[in-house]
A and B are shown apart, each in its own frame.
Chain A
Amino acid sequence: MAPQQEGSFLEETVPIEHSDSQKNEMLRLIQQLLQGMGLPECADLLRQESGVELESEIVTKFRQGIQNGNWDEAKKLALAIDVNNDDASKAMQRKLATQQYLELLAEGSQLSALNVLQDKITPVSNDESEIVRLSSLLTCTTEDDLKTRSAYCGAEIERQRLAVSIQSDISANTMLEQDRLWELALQATQHQAEQCTDIQGISTLLRDCSDELDCSRASKKPKTSTEDPPDLSQFIITHGEEMTRLVLQLLRDSGYTNTFNMIEKETGVHCESPDSTKFRSSIESGDWDTAIELLPKLTDEGSVPQAAFLIGRQRYLEHLENGDAIQALTVLQEHVSPYCRSPSELHSLATLLTCCDISDLSSRSAYTSVARSRKKLVESLHSCIDCSILMEHNRLWKLVGQAQQRQREQCISLNRPVEGFTLLRDYTGEGSDLPKYTMVVLRQSDDEVWCLQFSPDGNWLSCGCRDGYVILHDVGQISKDNTITTKRLLSHKQSVTHLSFSSDSEGLLSASTDTSIKYWKTSTGELLRTFSGHLDPVLSVRWLPSGDSFFSSSEDRSVYKWCIETGELQRHWVTPVVLDMTVTPCGKSLITIDSDRQIICYNLEVSGDYENMFHKKPIEEYSRGLLTLQSTDNSEPVRWIMQEREKELTTCELSDCGRYLLCGISVKESRGCSHLYDLHLKKRIQKYVGAKQLTHVIRPIFGGHYQRFVLSGSEDGRVIITHRKTGKVISTLTGHLKSTNSVAWNPVRHDIIASCSDDTTVRIWSPAIVAAPGQIEEEVNNHNDPMDALTSTDDNAREPDVEEDEEEEEEEDRDNWSYNTYEDP
């Protein structure tokens, strides 16, 4: 599985490569921007300095031709321009000719207009009705009449519109989209605004907007998603100066100093004040005294100590690196301690004096090399100095990166890594890799299939059926010789309720209504062990990531922890019936869903009894039908409990990063939905509607590239793919005849999913129509049950008392469920 960062659902961050092609594209965009700002000489100078052409001459002339109305020349040039395809070329001709026609009509020279219509438009147009409409305009006598009948707005505006519409026919590479750099900046700000909760618009380009700093107090209403598309021209006016500064910064860093100076002279906008430049250069060269002198000019009184502390610290560490302990000590005394706020920080710095060499120093204090740590120092100073005085490094590239991120997120059905990103055009992610077609229908089962799991390495698919069979399919062979080998494992006496693979895919556990749990070896299908001990049907079973023990829960209101090797019971406790559970990836917590509508997180590092749930009084919090009790310290046996007020939770799945919990819900009245909970915020953050979940246990799961999607079955046989972040239903797969109980997404090959159903089949889906794999059946010899975990007999299953007479009776209390002693029924 792709490694994921602990603590957040990673949206795949698309890295900015700063490749040569992207740098060239950036320079072209800057030239376009300069021309748009009215600085054509600067654009020229940049072109000379960098050697990158904004557009080829042909295109420039073409553009001028359109603006001036030289239609013949424009038409000639159009033929020479690189277009998307043949239709585009014709379309361009048609648009040029139509514009000429309309302009002639507006002037009143109808005869020449008629000539144009006959000679130029008709040959290249496929659309009869268009020609008819245009010829009907011949009867217009005045320009106003033309306006009302054809929405013609005057030559100027129409020509601009023409330029814009022609762009769609020409590749973006040849003719740049209008104000492309501004467009990217706008997308970047939209991306930032989406990350915050309360922002209507951002205030500055130089710094990412955040809730604390930019909250618009004027309007306390929550952000609506139906905003008007932002006004680009307004945006340009507001942020013109900031954009100039960003461009200057980029030019300076790339080394185009002539252009840099010229722009500064022409516009009067300075990239940074001379003080800032001096400050920056003094830090980079190590001139600490100057830097400290300049501090009061750059920032306000309150932040000076903080900044001085950081500078002093850097100085100290550099002396240590040189091995100059005495100097370092002097620095510590004179320049660091006056500004240090906490004594413990000072002490930890002082202990660094004992470092013998640089590797020791870097391991203890995160200090790397001089150049890099000085850069980091500048970055950390941003917390003290305002961003407009000391600009962030590579700010323009960062904005472009955010625009890229946003474009990536707009393609919600994309299921593979991003490639081929270009600055000149929005990323659309051609083609979706989501599964659509049935690859194969597996019919090995004779009875309803209730659960389905892919192994973590993606090679095995296991399904559990109502008649007790566990069926293993070897799907790893599909890529090699396009076959699926199937083994039917003779197993439980009653239905299989849950399956779980170990994290190395070597072992498989199956839980069943016949109160036993069986442990299989995946590669051969042989039964390694049977675990008996529960008194009632086992509802769920889950491995620990370490692979040496597992948890199981049962209708007898207990949760057991077993050791795989020895088969003995390690831990058990009483709870309301646990319907499903899951273990966090770090192995430190167990999260259970029980029939009391609670989600309980147990602390697995604390041994001892869970009977007293919280030793100290927990913190309580309510939010919208969800009650949360949070323990106050980490040594408590239970970390937190979330209680749903009304919804019945049926299943749960944890995301790979361990932060998000997806729960299936069974609601009798309405259509049913699944909930996504954020376990760090202890809130319900998303609801997925679409599947029918009234009485059955339907298990929704995460899946896809970076777990972008939520996959769910449904009682009417559909398989539904929804986008995880927005909750939008992306596609529905049909094919099963009855309720689809469970679904699984291949963790390694993100384009394969599987679903199982009451119609006894298991279907595997893929994005394209492929030849169905051949199916091979293998026999597994499993007639003996080796080594049961505890002595068990068939009488293990508890029988409830038979109904007695009316007189109130004394019945034997048969609930000594302590696992070691069994009473005869």
Chain B
Amino acid sequence: MGRIHKRYLDATPIYVCCECLTHVVAYDSIMSKSFKGKHGRAYLFDGVVNVTLGAVEDRVLMTGHHQVADIYCTGCGTNLGWKYESAQDPSQRYKEGKYIIEKLLVKKLIQSAPCTWSVRNVPSAPSSDEWTSDPGF
């Protein structure tokens, strides 16, 4: 498999994969806690890292018909949950592009305070939007 490049999250607390402790998602990006997955409770998140997507399939869930793609941890390949690709019911549209992570498959990790020492926190460093155009070569 080779050494997989992992991204590391700078927030606290964060959720990590239960098997390989790869960082997955920050607690702050929880959108909702009241979901149910295959193994019990599950949370809805806005953005995750270190996951790969599986194939998109049709699934009928408690809330209706959806197209979802399973997500797998890049470190060990465990199926952590799924991503909503599209929903049939208009009232479920808010879920599109968001991720479900099963609570049982992750652990919570408290890290030391985020580093004060990142370019973002240097006084008067601009936010990324203000950078010059043409990001590529």
A residues near B (Cβ < 8 Å) are 448, 450, 495, 497, 555, 557, 574-577, 595-596, 598, 610-611, 613-614, 617-618, 620, 622-625, 627, 629, 641, 643, 645-646, 648, 650, 666, 684, 687, 695-697, 715, 738-739, 741, 758, 800-804, 806, 811, 813-815, 817
Contact = CB atoms under 8 A, between A and B. Distances in A.
Nearest to B9: A595
Given A595-B10, A614-B122, A620-B124, 7 more contacts: A557-B8, A557-B111, A575-B115, A623-B132, A627-B119, A645-B135, A806-B33
B34 to A, nearest CB: 10
Interface in B18-47: 21, 33, 41
B134 to A, nearest CB: 6
B111 to A, nearest CB: 6
25 contacts: A450-B2, A450-B3, A574-B115, A577-B8, A596-B118, A623-B132, A624-B136, A624-B137, A625-B132, A627-B131, A645-B135, A648-B5, A697-B4, A738-B2, A739-B2, A741-B2, A741-B3, A800-B110, A801-B108, A801-B109, A803-B103, A806-B41, A814-B110, A815-B110, A815-B112
A596 B117 CA distance: 11
Interface of B: 1-5, 7-8, 10, 16, 21, 33, 41, 52, 74, 103-104, 106-112, 115-120, 122-126, 128, 131-132, 134-137
A138 B17 CA distance: 85
Contacts of B135: 624-625, 645-646
A800 B16 contact: yes
B74 A695 contact: yes
Interface of A is mostly: loop
A500 to B, nearest CB: 16
Contacts of B118: 576, 596, 598
A555 B128 CA distance: 26
Contacts of A666: 5
Nearest to A741: B2
A800 B18 CA distance: 9
B119 A687 contact: no
A617 B120 CA distance: 14
A217 to B, nearest CB: 25
Given A497-B3, A629-B122, A610 B109 contact: no
A617 B132 contact: no
B117 A575 contact: yes
Contacts of B116: 611
Interface of B is mostly: loop
Nearest to A811: B110
B42 to A, nearest CB: 12
A613 B125 CA distance: 13
Nearest to A809: B108
B108 A803 contact: yes
B4 A645 contact: no
B17 to A, nearest CB: 10
Nearest to A628: B119
B119 A758 contact: no
Contacts of B136: 624-625
A557 B132 CA distance: 30
A697 B2 contact: yes
Nearest to B113: A815
Given A617-B124, A650-B5, A697-B3, A803 B106 contact: yes
A804 B108 contact: yes
Nearest to A695: B4
A629 B4 CA distance: 30
A574 B118 CA distance: 11
B21 to A, nearest CB: 6
Nearest to A613: B117
Contacts of B132: 622-625
Contacts of A806: 33, 41
A815 B10 CA distance: 14
A610 B118 CA distance: 12
Given A617-B123, A650-B5, A576 B110 contact: no
A803 B7 contact: no
Nearest to B106: A803
A687 to B, nearest CB: 5
A806 B35 CA distance: 13
B117 A574 contact: yes
A801 B25 CA distance: 15
A715 B4 CA distance: 11
B108 A817 contact: no
B112 A557 contact: yes
A490 B23 CA distance: 30
Nearest to A698: B2
B101 to A, nearest CB: 11
B131 A622 contact: yes
B115 A803 contact: no
Given A596-B10, A800-B108, A557 B115 contact: yes
B62 to A, nearest CB: 19
Contacts of B120: 596
A86 B103 CA distance: 82
A384 B103 CA distance: 77
A446 to B, nearest CB: 15
B1 A448 contact: yes
A620 B107 contact: no
Contacts of A623: 132
Nearest to A595: B8
Contact of B119 (A557, A629, A813): A629
The 8 closest A-B pairs by CB, nearest first: A625-B135, A800-B109, A696-B2, A815-B112, A595-B8, A577-B8, A666-B5, A697-B3
A620 B2 contact: no
Given A625-B131, A800-B16, A817 B2 contact: no
Contacts of A596: 10, 118-120
Contacts of A684: 137
A811 B12 CA distance: 12
B119 A574 contact: no
Given A576-B115, A800-B109, A696 B4 contact: yes
Nearest to B135: A625
A75 to B, nearest CB: 58
Contacts of B123: 617
Nearest to A496: B3
B24 to A, nearest CB: 12
Contacts of B52: 695
A772 B135 CA distance: 48
B112 to A, nearest CB: 4
Contacts of A555: 8
Nearest to A673: B137
Contacts of A643: 119
Nearest to A649: B5
Nearest to B121: A613
A489 B135 CA distance: 46
A555 B21 CA distance: 11
Contacts of B3: 450, 495, 497, 696-697, 741
Given A696-B3, A758-B2, A576 B128 contact: no
Nearest to B120: A596
A495 B74 CA distance: 17
A596 B121 CA distance: 12
Contacts of A611: 116-117
A35 B94 CA distance: 85
Contact of B128 (A620, A624, A645): A645
A26 B10 CA distance: 67
A618 B126 CA distance: 13
Contact of B112 (A574, A610, A613): A574
A576 B8 contact: yes
A624 B131 CA distance: 8
A815 B124 CA distance: 30
A618 B112 CA distance: 27
Nearest to B104: A803
Contacts of A648: 5, 7
Nearest to A675: B137
A622 B119 CA distance: 13
A803 B107 CA distance: 5
Nearest to B116: A611
Contact of B122 (A613, A650, A715, A801): A613
